[in-house]
Structure 1
Amino acid sequence: MSEMNDKTADFGYRTVDAAEKPGLVRGVFTSVAARYDLMNDLMSGGVHRLWKASLIDELKPNSRMRLLDVAGGTGDVAFRFLDAGGGHVTVCDLTESMVAVGRDRAIDRGRLSGVDWTVGDAQALPIADAGVDAYTIAFGLRNVTDIDRALREARRVLKPGGLFLCLEFSRVVLPALDRLYDAYSFQVLPALGRWVAKDEESYRYLAESIRRFPDQQSLARRMQAVGFARVGCRNLSGGIAAIHRGRRL
């Protein structure tokens, strides 16, 4: 993995000015927002729903829990949290178009309470210190310019004892699966992006960003370095995705 320094960052396989990356990420998700959830179903064959169900199982929502769901613009995790008995969720996403999709879905579902929506950066969250019981980020951390800064922000907004959960694509741990997964990522995904979302390049970036993201052990070490305790990881689908967890003590 290529590490970001103070001036540059990875944008897929490209090296860009660090200040430029948030705008590029916004551009990707503005382009795909309207078909984002459909593409998730097509790309994963619906398996992302099982992964998110596992995330909610780890979270164990209850009526007193206040959740911050970062990079969750379309509301997929937020709605699952509420359906599982969660108390209140704030959805924060860098891209206004993604938040608009989520807000519209909430209105269509009659979800007029228990959820609020905000546009914000994972690296500088518009949330008070120790303001939430739990923090989730699903398939969003790899798009952040400075992962360590985002992890520090996650810890800052959690109450003592609060739970951090990151669901993210990771490193395949089954030898027979990794070559198939590479072929799928770099041939099928861009083609799906071209046919369905009319945007091949955004889905090529998303495939590349997965390869640039820290592996399971590296992310665990970075979580520990910013002060998370009880750090652990659970592989899903042979390591195609993983749930990382930690506690703010």
Structure 2
Amino acid sequence: MMFDSHFLLIAVIAVTLVGLSKGGLGGAFGLMGVPILAMAVPPLQAAAIFLPILIAMDWVALYAWRHHNDRRTILLMLPGALAGIAIGWATSALVSGEAMQLVLGAITIVFAGRYFWNRLKGRGHDDGQGTRHHAGKASLWGAISGYGSFVAHAGGPPFEIYALPLKLDPKSYTGASVRFFAILNAVKLIPYIALGQLDLASFKVSLSLLPLALVATLIGARIVRRMPATTFYPIVYAMTLLAGLKLFRDGLVVFTVF
């Protein structure tokens, strides 16, 4: 792969956005990484380059948020998520990633749009108590998150649909999210290797971009640490809405006739 100025510019933007997302600034940034990098290299190659970077980012984010967590969120959602990954692996040839993106995008737009509609009506996120944990809902959205993560790299919005209404402290929410997706990415590594998506050339590129990825992750974590809940949640909901819009737009390719 040639490191021309076009590739380097695109790679810096993509890796920085994903790093900020991993640090805790919202899933929309994370969803933009591979599509942006795919402007410089083929999509499959872009995904292969990002995979080792994501794993490394997970470790940095785990260290940055090691003192913050919501164990109950993870314990309730993780079994369903692992089952969702397994189902995605078994049925990946039957359901297209675009169809999954379309459905997840529509659900996410409605979820995030409802939040902003309530704010316009004077009913903000801070009004009232958060929802209580519900094992059934956690399993359902966990399974959708795991499935969407494997099939369409879109596990963030389903996690947010369950976890955001809990109204956790921003640090606890971020710590739980970081741990949840670190586990999912580690589990996904096995089938990705089996599918032959990783090779030496892409791994070398990943290593060259790794320092920037780690710095961006730490910057994202530092920003979230200083952010009050009244600022954090509107930003995260806005990122969730953007993620939903992007998923929905990408999924519309299902109905495109060439």
Question: Taking structure 2 as the reference length, what is the TM-score of the superposition?
Answer: 0.30
The answer to which structure, 1 or 2, has the higher relative contact order (CA under 8 A, 6+ apart) is 2
> TM-score scaled to structure 1, two decimals?
0.31
